[in-house]
Structure 1
């Protein structure tokens, strides 16, 4: 059904001819349903240039969106882009089993109304960035290029593993006698109660240097950044740990532990385990290993003993059926059929920037490195981009699609210039993803 009535004669004529609606019509809004229960929405400007953006929204309620926010939507419409996006059909908020299909079906529904586009670009944020990365592997030539912003491009298997490693370390070292359920949640209430308990444990640990050191270890295993608030990253190790504790307790643990329930619901169980993990090897890979070691020395703790304890006592086993489900539905291969540009903030608390390291290696091994570029914004926060930063990235992707060459359009200086000199793109050495 249409959300805004347009001229019936013009609409019928356009549909019969297989073309777009007349340019003089007002901006048009459409919505509809798909056979599997998903919904879709679309916005088409009167100055449509022939390019459709297929937008994939992030983790959350299954509501259709065709842009990340209202300001970005309006900016895209002003530039002549048509927008479409679906709700996905579930079965939970982790909707990867249906999302790619629902997105392409929504695209087809809009094409049936306005005509075949000159170009289609996929764009996704957060979980939607993973969806868009999977769309980049499309062999059906339904898209021409992809932009991922703060994308969960290392997939669900890796994410579940490193989040569990960090949560286990926090629980087992900070309060071994306090029962904290880490996997196999019965429902959202069960997961939220576990998150509240672990949040309280981390908060209480900040009263001592020993608790702070062990919090830093757990944060390192979770790939948590050391910058959460303020215009610049904190320099001192204690200040860094204070910011990690703040991000963990203010929203990260509550978000990811309740989010795990949604993933378990979709996968049919818990995919990840701690049994057999070498926690010393994990810490050695972390860019924050120096911080952890320094805080342990100051606190008079034996880091080797804690790492050995974590490795020795680890006894959580994943469900192989759930793991296979996520590997099939929620893990990119890196075999890109189209050009892709990924952008990420350097300090992302929910989707750590190290995901780009893992993904870049996966794409290179697949032989698709020439199709991928990655760019980084010096900012803290999840998806904390300005509208001008995202539009500059979109422009760079379009250059690649149009010319077949990246040239230097994805370099920081060119992206900043494309954003009018207000963007924060920087050269950045991406850390490894611990636990991947």
Structure 2
């Protein structure tokens, strides 16, 4: 795929730019395909406020509520769609180049913006973190939701831990596929998993062990992907048990069906050789999860602490996965692996009930930023929200407004949960869900440039 400079040169000649009908009477909209194969779009409102929002998913999301509202309020909204070959040739470096190319194209057509803010969720959130590190000359600030932390390595390893622990506890010695799970093995590989999970969910012993796998893997107690179940009360053991089974089920389906995203470019991109899962539980599971699991084990008649330790030993006793040299090294390249060396202000937000990208991933990135000495540029926030990228319009606009204030004044204002909720209430009618939150434990699968790996 071509870099952004080549893309701009081609677009300047008009070889890839397509004009379309305006989105509205006073708005300009252009779309096309970059030479690298990325679709892109530029939407310029008639009442432009001088601020550009750049998004990896701007093509796909253009008609969604958040961009529609941003355009109505005078923000230009630009960016790309995901590359059509992303599931087999995923490369964040090309995604960064594509964002830079569209930002440059916008500047050529409309002049210099007051502020360019990189924005995105999930993969777009990762691109936002990476743009703050790798392309600070193209943007002034960054707002990332539900990002995948330091990169593909941390996610691939996290997506390995959950099915590995579940297999060890529910079906040791079976032929359930953990990693790799090639596309050719689907959907049969997941169907086999679903049968095992359905059987386990039908018994209190099975549900207790599913909850243990959730804690070992640092999945949220209350987690989902597509839907948004209500948060269980902290004293309702049955509801908490149900929530942890839901978190595991959604996380497992994703880990089995979508890990090819990380393995396809160069090979198996995760490993657990040398991992001590008992230590992961002791150091990484929070106190509430441990309390829930102790109660579930007792309720199921499995026993107390000794039974939990026996099951943790069962996980540690399983044959390990080493990954592949090419697969691991692919994700170690700077840009595919980021390290917290941000050079523009960054507001980093994560939903606490995300079962696709568990919120502990954000803790790994926060540590990276601190190591690099950039805490002055960095702020974090959390949403009491289940599901993946289920951000409300008002919540997104509060985050963007906080960033605009930071860029206008040169210093951070109040980015506490109360302050963000107050801004969100002014921006929309939904009840905002920002909450104060601090992780009790480190992210077990945090991965940095100097982290140990098998190759």
Q: Could you state the TM-score of these two structures normalised by the residue count of structure 1? A: 0.88
Corresponding residue for residue 16 of structure 1: none
3-state secondary structure, aligned to 2:117: strand
- Indicate the residue corresponding to 1:417 in structure 2: 422
* Mapped partners of 1:112, 1:369: distance in 2: 34
> Which residue of structure 2 aligns with residue 257 of structure 1?
256
Note the C-alpha offset of 1:374.
Answer: 0.7
Aligned-pair CA distance for 1:132: 0.6
Q: 1:218 aligns with which of 188, 195, 213?
A: 213
Matched, 1:73 2:79: no
Number of matched residues?
409
The answer to whether structure 1 residue 232 and structure 2 residue 238 are counterparts is no
Q: How does 1:228-377 map to 2 (within 5 A)?
A: 228=223, 230-235=229-234, 236-249=236-249, 251-266=250-265, 268-284=266-282, 285-287=284-286, 288-298=289-299, 299-301=301-303, 302-328=307-333, 329-377=335-383
Give the alignment of 1:393-432 within 5 angstroms: 393-408=399-414, 410-420=415-425, 422-431=431-440, 432=442
- 2:402–2:413: 8 Å Cα contact kept in structure 1? no
For 1:226 and 1:335, the matched residues in 2 are separated by 31
Q: Measure, in 1, the Cα distance between the counterparts of 2:152 and 2:68.
A: 32
Greater alpha carbon shift after TM alignment, 283-292 vs 43-52? 283-292
Q: Name the structure 1 match of 2:41.
A: 41
How far residue 341 of structure 1 moved from its aligned partner, in angstroms, is 0.5
Which of residues 69, 76, 87 is equivalent to 2:81?
A: 87
2:170 to 167, 174, 179: 174
Quick one: distance in 1 between partners of 2:182 and 2:392?
39
1:272 and 1:323 in contact (8 A); partners too: yes
Can you give the 5+ residue segments of structure 2 that lack an aligned partner in the other structure?
Answer: 1-16, 447-455
| TM superposition shift of 1:191 | 4.1
Q: Which of 198, 203, 211 pairs up with 1:208?
A: 203
Compute the displacement of 1:390 (Å). Answer: 0.7
Contact kept, 8 Å, 1:213 with 1:295, in 2: the verdict is yes
In 2: Cα distance, 1:99 partner to 1:173 partner: 39
- Give yes or no for contact 1:28–1:44 (8 Å, CA) kept in 2: yes
Distance in 2, matches of 1:374 and 1:215, equals 30
CA contact (8 A) 2:56 2:82 kept: no
1:51 corresponds in structure 2 to 51
Q: Which residue of 1 aligns with 2:386?
A: 380
Instruction: For 1:133 and 1:273, locate their aligned partners in 2 and report how far apart those are by CA, in whole Å.
Output: 24
CA pair 383-293 structure 1, distance change in 2 beyond 3 A: same
Q: Please name the residue that 1:60 is paired with.
A: none
Matches within 5 A, 1:145-184: 145-184=141-180
Q: Distance in 2 between matches of 1:366 and 1:123?
A: 22
Shift of 1:336: 0.6
Q: Does 228-237 or 310-319 show the bigger shift?
A: 228-237
Give, in angstroms, the shift of residue 90 of structure 1.
6.2
Q: Which runs of 5+ in 1 are unaligned?
A: 7-23, 58-62
Shift of 1:261: 1.1
CA distance in 1, matches of 2:356, 2:182: 23
Output the CA distance in 2 between the equivalents of 1:370 and 1:363.
Answer: 10
CA RMSD of aligned residues (A): 2.2
Aligned to 2:20: 4
* Aligned-pair CA distance for 1:223: 2.2
CA displacement at 1:120 relative to structure 2: 0.6
Match of 2:128 in 1: 132
Native 8 Å contact 1:226 1:233 kept in 2: no
The 1:342/1:140 distance shift into structure 2, 3 A limit, reads closer
In the alignment, the residues of structure 2 paired with residue 2 and residue 82 of structure 1 have an alpha-carbon distance, to the nearest angstrom, of 18
Q: Give TM-score scaled by structure 2 length.
A: 0.84
1:114 aligned to which of 98, 107, 110:
110
